[in-house]
Amino acid sequence: MVYFVGAGSGAPDLITVRGKNLLEQADVIIYAGSLVNPELLSYKKEGCEVYNSATMTLEEVLEVMEQAHAEQKMIVRLHTGDPCIYGAIREQMDILDEKEPLLPDVLLSLPESLQPPCIRVRYRSLHYI
């Protein structure tokens, strides 16, 4: 399962409870290292694989997601702020949308009426917090 999680304002104590819980459970975390506060990685469990997407191409990020999914690992794609407003996730979601078993979960902090266009693709579930 792939979860797109927003890092909120960046302060580790201001991430949502659900986002923190997902970071604690993740087998793989792919984070936007140039934007996300690295202190948020302190929530990861021992043995979690961590990738800095700032040094990766989109293809490399998706390859990590696909491999981890094939190994039945839980994946968190950690973006800055709200993942749809401040993170460029549309292109990732479009590609994942083509791969039926990789439909992501997305955590948003916006009400449904303010749903951004980047979410207007298929997804397994969408959570407003």
Which token pair is 19?
Answer: 């986002």
Q: Which residue has the higher pLDDT, 106 or 41?
A: 41
Residues in the chain: 129
Alpha carbon of 47 to those of 26, 29, 50, 56, 107: distances in Å?
10, 11, 9, 21, 24
- Provide the terminal-to-terminal Cα distance of the chain, rounded to the nearest Å: 19
**Alpha helix locations (H) across 55-108?**
58-70, 90-98
Which token pair is 24?
Answer: 């604690």
Q: Which residue has the higher pLDDT, 2 or 125?
A: 2
State how far the Cα of 18 lies from the Cα of 129, in Å rounded to an integer.
9
For the stretch 78-88, pLDDT in tens is: 987 655 554 45
Residue 128: pLDDT band (50, 70, 90) is very low
For the stretch 53-75, pLDDT in tens is: 999 998 899 899 989 989 999 99
Q: Which of 95, 73, 90, 80 is nearest to 31 (CA)?
A: 80
pTM of the prediction? 0.74
Tell me how many degrees the CA angle 84-90-95 measures, rounded to the nearest 5.
145
pLDDT of residue 84: 55
